[in-house]
Chain A
Amino acid sequence: MEVVLASSSSGEGGIGCWDLHTGAEQLRYKSCASPSHGLVAVGARFLASSSSHLRDSLATSSLLFWSWSKPQPEVKSFPAESIQPLAANHSGTYIAGGAPSGHIYLWEVETGRLLKKWRAHFREVTCLVFSEDDSLLVSGSGDGSVRVWSLFMIFDDLRSQQATNLYEYSFSEHTLSVTDVVIGIGGCNANIVSASLDRTCKVWSLSRGTLLRNIVFPSVIDSIALDPAEHVFYAGSRDGKIFIAALNTESIVTHNYGIIDSFSNHSKSVTCLAYGMRENLLISGSEDGMVRVWNAKTRNIVRMFKHAKGPVNNILVVRRENDSSNHTSPIIQASSKKQVSNLPPPLEKYANPKDEDSNMKTIISLGGGRRSVDPLYISSHVISNYIKQFQHEGSGAASEMEMEKLKQDYQLSMQMANQWKKMYENLHQFCVKELLDGGQTRNLD
């Protein structure tokens, strides 16, 4: 089931969830006021969002986890700083969060351990995204820089001490705060597209580490969505238009610096965009609280979801498994009933330097849903095995069987011999008797 999730900064609406294909509204997840880029689906297993509440003039910030089936957040964690952008790798084993101080935090989901925390930018981190193969992390910042981090470098203490920079690339061509970053497919040849308050979108080459294209828009772009074929990208602007900008379209005669087209039905600013894979649907969220689903080809609105009064600021399209508890064996089902939740523990606030041995172990699930189906029936195999042995005479088992057979034969012949013996003796006695009797009678005669 492919669902659209939308959250807003106001917090009243919670996180709305709709089935993209039927349009039916699903469970609404409550009490969440997410900042922009603060909502992620962690490996399609559960939903996580950073959230900040202004209560009693004291900003408390937390990270909330929802399981798909319950509206209330089940796990709350309170990191050291208020985390804004969140990102999870594709398999859902790590969560990265960006802080206003410019630090990036990296947690292991399964244990909640804070594995690393490093100073990434001079100002707040505004957006985070994992690369296709999960080995790179791209971050955008309030200081206008976009940086590419290799997670290996981050984890390798030895090399990171030797290296001058932790990052692989630092792009600083944006003059104002970065509002969104996306990365395409293609491993090391991927393109990164970033949008900024300076009214430009820039396309960067990962393999070369250079700026490929700079596209100037008439107004600020807050969100970018890549067309899966990376032919174009969609840019949602503050004047309510969605621009289509060329990415890989050499063939199109470009007008206006790479902007191919634009369309709009938003009265207010477009705050977030997402692309639904199955049917070429573009989903946009707007400041007016509506979520619109567009047919990317015809650019007609296919569906509209009303989320809240406040601005929608995050949209996710998630392919959700129908029911996560289906595949599990009865043993787990029993245990999960006991535990109530199978969400991971809350994320830790600090890395624990004393307990350095804690990262000696890692919790993993073995084999996942994969069941090994071996050719389990063996008796015909055993038969052919032994027949082979029979044919190669002299092997242990065969000769043993031969022995058994011979023993049986031996016994039979013994019996036979005995019988013969008996018969012979009987006959003998009979003959002797006869002879003796005959002699006697003759004598008598």
Chain B
Amino acid sequence: MLKTVFPLTPDSSLSLNAAVSDSAQIFRSLGFSVPTMAFDHFGNMYDVAFKPRLLLTLTRDHLPDENSPFSNPSELSNIVSLIKTHSLLSESFTQSTPPKVMEAWKSALTSWLNRIYSLLSTTMPDKCWVGISLLGVTCEECSSERFLESYSVWFQKLLPFLQSPSGSHLVRVAACASMSDLFVRLSGYPKIKKESSSCSVKVVQPTLKMLSAENSEAIWDAAVHLLCTLITSFPFSIRNHYASVESAIALKLLSGGSSLDMLKKLAHCLALLPKSKGDEESWSVMMQKILVLVNNQLTLAFHGLEEDTMRIEVTRLLALPREVLPPPLGGYILAEEVGNKASKTSEQSLMSNASTLMFCCGLMLTNSYPVKVNVPVRLLLALVERILMVNGSLPQMSLPFMTAKQQENICSELPVLHSSSLELLTAIIKSMGSQLLPHAAYIVRIITKYFKTCELPELRIKVYSVTRNLLITMGVGMALYLAQEVINNALADLSSIEHKNGGILNGSNSNTSARHKKRKHSSTTASLQEHNEGGGVGVEVPKNHPLPPISLRIAALETLEALVTVAGALKSEPWRSKVDSLLIVIAMDSFKEGSVGEEKSVLEPAANVTDLQLAALRALLVSFLSFARVRPPYLSQGLELFHRGKQQTGTKLAEFCAHALLTLEVLIHPRALPLVDYAYANNNLLEAHSNLQHEYFGRSNSTPYGLPQVPPHDYDDDLCARWLENGNEADESLDKNTKYTGEPSEACRANNPEVLSIHVSSGTDIQERTETVSEAATCADVEMKTVEDEINFKSDQQGESVVQFQDPVFCTTNIPVAETGSDVADDSVSEKIFSDSTVPRNEASHMESGQGSSVNRDFKLASQSNSLWKATSGSNIFEEFVLQLPEADGDDFPDIVDGDPDSDSE
């Protein structure tokens, strides 16, 4: 009977009765009431009138009641989802909601609640369960008014289910969940704090009882959740029961037999517990207790497996902070019990206890806490080190005291323990942030030592992630330390490609030889070709040397990425070229494996080939971007890969490749956009006289005060002008390089009228503008006007500005012209496109001559042609030049030290 479709889903009603519903609405809007229920149509699925109707139907037809049986539980989830989708319990009215609808909704909700109450009072456990669960949903979904009005009733109805020791487990679990939801909602109303805390106090005792008396994990789970809610929302209620909560949870934690999931939940609750007091002391005490316990368990488990120094060190650090050790976790009685048990229990349970407790430590470090706390960093790190240094090997002297069985037990559990101590290390790094600095060297030492011995892929992945965290949080300084270690390990883990690759990248031990080889194939194509050739042979290799799992390779790539991000340019010479060629090889490989990827992904569902590809491309992008001095050697291959990746529509890879191409575009067309447009709209005087500008350009560059509203054309023009200026540079380089003497630029211009035209229209300063104007044949009238204009107000503002730059409106699309210039010019232009570095260098090293010549040249040109220059020469520009030149001559030029034209001046 319950499998029927709801008769009043919005769609059906709409499609059937659209016309009628329209007319009904018209009726309603006109103030007529539509009399019969059957034809009381509503607007659409958003109409408020629809909600009470649906709620009523649900209550009437689909909820079980005392008499009708509850046969199909899946119906219930349908009801819940309908309630949530349409927010049927929200009673959210607007101003325009007709009062009739409001009434209808209110009464529908009341009948819904009445039905729930009646369900709660039945003896049938399944109906009772439905009632309790739906009450929890109601707590979450109902309106504030409704909640405040009736939460105490609901609380009273729920409480007996928590208290009664009998009753179905299911009912009690649902009661815990609904009670927890009630308190979560209550915590949102600080105004009624008194009432709500008096409620919460009543709950603690029964919950604890459930935790200790019951024997079902489902109930523990629900009870722990309720406790966590109380701790975070109503810390006060827990405070009186602090010790008993602690011992109850500790007992469950240490007595064993719980599932891993349950243990994690208990650890979570234990970590939250100090929050109920919220002071520094209780946090420290809890931390101390946990660490003491971990240490004891480890000492028992590792007996005969480790050197005494580590144990003694940790124990010494534990005893340090306070003279009197706090009572053991969960009180003395529990400790004794656990201690007695521990002597009998296996190593496995000792070690699993230790890892759960360490998980708890990690949570305490990463959870927020209201006050500052004193973290025993050194102790935590020593503990981590102690665990990581045990690898299950037996020292000679303890051989006779341990059976092979014991050793087997320990070694089977060690990976879990190592993994949780690495997690703890991650938590330490996360919580300490920049304050880790004094301990950073210690951590690095632990990591390096462990990296050398660690072989299991899962653990290596964790070590990599710790390394990444360190690199990103600690920055450049840390990268200088860790670089070599990361490189060695990543190369080893990505070594499958190395084998295929005929030895482009040898292992870390033969650094120098690898680099020599690399030099031999200094051209990228050669080395890549070799890699291609090797590709066929390499397929056989994995058989005796299995490939490291993909997830490990991804972790290695991500760590390389982090390293290159942080310190790609600082003291990276020893490893940089190796990493770059490795990355491009892996990226290219990942595209080749495309078809193989499908079947592999079945075998390794955790991380498949596409993830590896993504990681490889990410690392590749970073390696391109972090080059400071030279053009990335494999840029063209990389670009092709990104293009190919972008074509895989709809994948993450395509998204990333689009992003990468955008990023690389900036690398290819470098731009240094000024925050304040100094160069081309540097006309502060134009600003001051923006009225004049308005007349000619009809736009303003900035608001009088506040954020400058830089119109986009400025940027265009900046870019454009730089392009055009490269033409200028070409001229200059011609000046230098060719053997023309006397008037080199003149000669050049005479030979290449096109270059001349570039120069003329490029316009980087006012002199050139005057040229432009002077050759009036090519110029528009507007330009003429502007220049005159500028000159006009320049004379107004003498002595204020030094140089007037041209307003950039006239720099138009001359790029093709630049490219079709003379051969020499073309070369130098293209050179500049690739490495922006040369531009400033030339400027710097030829500053004197450049300046002189440019002035001379311009002067010549100008004086050749027109008297306009003379007009401007009366203005301050010329004066400034004259004034500045002697000063420049007076200084010793050799201050410029670095004259290497290949290097970059950023």
Contact = CB atoms under 8 A, between A and B. Distances in A.
A297 B474 contact: no
Given A360-B379, A362-B435, A377 B168 contact: no
Q: 8 shortest A-B CB distances, which residue pairs?
A: A367-B368, A379-B136, A133-B475, A135-B477, A188-B570, A156-B441, A360-B378, A135-B475
A218 B887 CA distance: 8
Contact of A405 (B126, B173, B437, B803): B126
A372 to B, nearest CB: 7
B684 A297 contact: yes
A361 B570 contact: no
Contacts of B891: 216, 257
Main secondary structure of the interface of A (DSSP, over half): mixed
A287 B623 CA distance: 48
A384 B321 contact: no
Contacts of B399: none
B432 to A, nearest CB: 6
A305 interface: no
Contacts of A387: 73-74, 76-77
A227 B675 contact: yes
B417 interface: no
Interface of B: 73-74, 76-77, 80, 84, 123-126, 129, 133, 135-137, 139-140, 168-170, 173-174, 177-178, 180-181, 184-185, 216, 218, 222, 225, 229, 278-279, 317, 320-321, 365-379, 431-435, 437-441, 444, 474-481, 565-570, 626, 628-629, 672-679, 682, 684, 687-688, 702, 705-708, 718, 721-722, 725, 764-765, 800-803, 836, 839-840, 843-844, 847, 851, 854, 881, 884, 887-888, 891, 895-898, 903, 905-906
B369 A366 contact: yes
A298 B174 CA distance: 69
Interface string A360-388: 11111111101110001111111110110
A204 to B, nearest CB: 10
B569 A371 contact: no
A159 to B, nearest CB: 7
A417 interface: no
Contacts of A213: 840, 844, 896, 905
A361 B320 CA distance: 11
B320 A360 contact: yes
Contacts of B178: 379
A361 B375 contact: yes
Chain B CB count within 10 A is highest, among A156, A211, A359, for A156
A383 B76 contact: yes
B722 A380 contact: no
A261 B801 contact: yes
A58 interface: no
Interface string A194-221: 0000001001011110111110101000
Given A231-B678, A298-B702, A211 B802 contact: no
A136 B884 contact: no
A440 interface: no
Contact of A134 (B139, B377, B475, B707): B475
Main secondary structure of the interface of B (DSSP, over half): helix
B906 A214 contact: no
Given A299-B684, A370-B368, A364 B475 contact: no
A93 B434 contact: yes
Nearest to B477: A135
Chain A CB count within 10 A is highest, among B278, B895, B906, for B906
A295 B898 CA distance: 35
Contacts of B566: 133, 187-188
Contacts of A429: none
A256 to B, nearest CB: 5
Contacts of B438: 108, 115, 155, 359, 362
Given A211-B898, A386-B73, A372 B368 contact: yes
B799 to A, nearest CB: 11
Given A94-B437, A255-B884, A400-B170, A302 B705 contact: yes
A212 B485 CA distance: 31
Contacts of B139: 377, 379
Given A207-B569, A251-B718, A173 B897 contact: yes
Contact of B320 (A131, A263, A357): A357
A150 B481 CA distance: 10
A404 B628 CA distance: 75
B380 to A, nearest CB: 10
Nearest to A275: B675
Contacts of B674: 227, 229, 231-232, 249
A254 B478 contact: no
Contacts of B568: 188
Nearest to B371: A332
A396 B340 CA distance: 33
A243 to B, nearest CB: 10
Contacts of B372: 110, 363-366
B480 A384 contact: no
Given A361-B377, A378-B181, A386-B73, A257 B888 contact: yes
A131 B433 CA distance: 16
A152 B77 contact: no
Interface string A386-418: 110011000011001100110010000000000
Contacts of B678: 231-232, 244, 249, 252, 260-261
Chain A CB count within 10 A is highest, among B170, B688, B884, B903, for B170
B721 A152 contact: no
Contacts of A384: 77, 80
A179 interface: no
Chain B CB count within 10 A is highest, among A94, A155, A263, for A155
B476 A401 contact: no
Given A89-B434, A387-B73, A251 B721 contact: yes
Contacts of B371: 331-332, 335, 365
Nearest to A405: B126
22 contacts: A93-B433, A110-B435, A150-B477, A155-B438, A156-B481, A187-B476, A206-B570, A207-B629, A212-B898, A230-B672, A250-B840, A256-B888, A260-B803, A329-B278, A362-B439, A364-B375, A367-B366, A372-B367, A379-B133, A386-B170, A386-B173, A390-B74
Given A108-B435, A251-B679, A256 B702 contact: no
Given A256-B887, A372-B367, A391-B74, A207 B441 contact: no
Contacts of A90: 434
Interface in A76-134: 89-91, 93-94, 108, 110, 115, 131-134
Contacts of B836: 250
Chain B CB count within 10 A is highest, among A218, A251, A279, A372, for A251
A377 B437 CA distance: 40
Given A232-B678, A251-B679, A135 B684 contact: no
B802 A382 contact: no
A72 B478 CA distance: 39
Given A136-B476, A212-B905, A387-B73, 19 more contacts: A94-B437, A229-B674, A229-B675, A254-B847, A297-B677, A297-B684, A298-B688, A357-B317, A363-B373, A366-B368, A370-B368, A372-B368, A377-B181, A378-B180, A382-B133, A386-B73, A397-B170, A400-B170, A405-B125
A133 B476 contact: yes
A49 B441 CA distance: 31
Given A210-B897, A248-B672, A155 B437 contact: yes
A206 B569 CA distance: 9
Contact of B476 (A131, A359, A367): A131
B74 to A, nearest CB: 6
B360 to A, nearest CB: 14
B368 A361 contact: no
B676 A227 contact: yes
Nearest to B138: A379
Nearest to B832: A250
B441 A380 contact: no
B378 A361 contact: yes
Nearest to B377: A362
A136 B477 contact: yes
